[in-house]
Structure formats: structure tokens, C-alpha cells
């Protein structure tokens, strides 16, 4: 198996940030996080609300409130230079709160400025608009964001997973199996992808 390359964890030595807050779609955080950890990555949930309720954020589970998720690092203590990549889960509430937080928006923007890989799913791409990095990208999202993203200069397509340079996006929970495979590949090449220019619109 070792000779053929099977069973090798692809993300050993990689450190990935997940930016989230209250109302994050639970499975869009927990499923990618599990997939990344399974491949050897260190994954930190980062939130501007670490100090509330014992350092946990309440997730949204499809149609009702879900689990409380532990926050590993407060946004105020998080440094983009410490991470190889960023994941932005969705849920309607989560990115709507985060896009009103200047520090959260700046955190996202600095990953793009550093040409580090970013993944986003569902309503997560709202943060790409707010950070001013959607223009010129080809991506997907939850369908209700289509007009917002096109108005921001993105080429929105209705596909399970879209990879454009160092950005991978997906539509929602139904696409997580395909999305998780793509983000493992994306983050495994962190460093190599940093020099890839995004396609122009």
C-alpha cells in the first residue's frame, strides 16, 4: 500500500482555519472538518464570539437549532500566517453576522491577498462578496446567492463543486461528499496553489 501511495494522509503538516459564528449550518462545518482531520490536518474553528457561553457557538441543523460547537481560537487572536487555508461554511445566519464584522471580513480578504486556498459552501460566499474577492471568479453557492454573486462580478454556475485556482465552492449539504474530496485536494497543495491566478471573468 505504501508503494502504491494508498493510505497516505494528504494533509499532515497542514493547518486549516474554519471561520464561523452562531447559526452556522452544522453539517457544513462538521463534515469538512472531519474530512480534513481524517487526512491529518490540524483544524481550528475561529470565531469572533469565543468568549460567549463557554467558548461555543450554536449551530443550525437544517430546520432547527443544532449542537453547540467548540471555538478553538478567538478571531482577535487568529493570525492568517499561522494557517495554510481557510474554510467558510454557510447557513443563512452565520455569514450574515460575519459580513457585518470588519475583522472577519479582513480575515477572509487576507487569505486571498496571501494567495492561500479557500473553500466555501452554501451561503458562505457572501463573505467573498463582502471581502471584495468575488469579482473575476467562477464559483457556485446556494442558488439564492446567484444574483448577489453575479452583481459582484462573479461567474455563477449551478454545479456540485467548482474549483477556480485556489478557490473551491459548493452549493450545499447535498454536495458535501464531492466537496470534501475537492477541499482535501485543494488544501493538500497549499503552497503550490498560492501562485495560481484566478480566472478573469
Q: Has 122 been annotated as catalytic?
A: yes
User: What crossing angle do the helices spanning 26-38 and 176-188 adopt, rounded to 10°?
Assistant: 50
Indicate if 49 belongs to the active site.
no
Q: How many CB atoms lie within 10 A of CB 82?
A: 12
Given 44, 49, 87, 122, the catalytic residue: 122
Non-local (6+) Cβ contacts of 179 within 8 A are 32, 119, 121, 160, 161, 168, 170
**SS3 of 143-177:** HHHHHHHHHCCCEECCCCEEEECCEEEECCHHHHH
Q: If we measure between CA atoms, which residue out of 41, 190, 51, 60 comes closest to residue 123? A: 60
| Catalytic option among 44, 49, 87, 123 | 123
CB of 183 closer than 8 Å to CB of 43: no
Enumerate the active-site residues. 122-123
Amino acid at each position: 500500500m505504501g508503494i502504491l501511495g494508498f493510505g497516505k494522509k494528504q494533509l499532515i503538516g497542514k493547518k486549516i482555519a474554519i471561520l464561523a459564528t452562531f447559526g452556522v449550518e452544522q453539517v457544513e462545518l462538521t463534515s469538512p472538518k472531519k474530512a480534513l482531520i481524517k487526512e491529518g490536518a490540524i483544524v481550528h474553528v475561529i470565531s469572533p464570539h469565543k468568549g460567549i457561553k463557554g467558548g461555543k457557538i450554536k449551530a443550525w441543523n437544517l430546520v432547527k437549532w443544532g449542537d453547540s460547537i467548540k471555538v478553538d481560537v478567538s478571531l482577535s487572536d487568529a493570525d492568517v500566517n499561522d494557517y495554510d487555508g481557510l474554510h467558510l461554511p454557510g447557513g443563512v445566519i452565520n455569514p450574515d453576522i460575519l459580513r457585518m464584522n470588519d475583522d472577519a471580513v479582513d480575515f477572509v480578504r487576507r487569505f486571498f491577498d496571501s494567495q492561500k486556498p479557500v473553500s466555501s459552501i452554501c451561503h458562505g460566499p457572501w463573505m467573498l462578496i463582502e471581502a471584495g474577492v468575488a469579482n473575476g471568479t467562477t464559483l457556485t453557492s446556494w442558488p439564492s446567492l446567484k444574483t448577489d454573486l453575479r452583481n459582484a462580478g462573479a461567474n455563477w454556475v449551478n454545479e456540485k463543486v467548482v474549483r477556480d485556482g485556489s478557490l473551491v465552492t459548493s452549493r450545499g449539504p447535498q454536495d458535501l461528499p464531492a466537496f470534501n474530496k475537492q477541499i482535501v485536494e485543494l488544501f493538500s497543495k497549499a503552497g503550490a496553489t498560492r501562485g495560481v491566478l484566478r480566472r478573469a471573468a
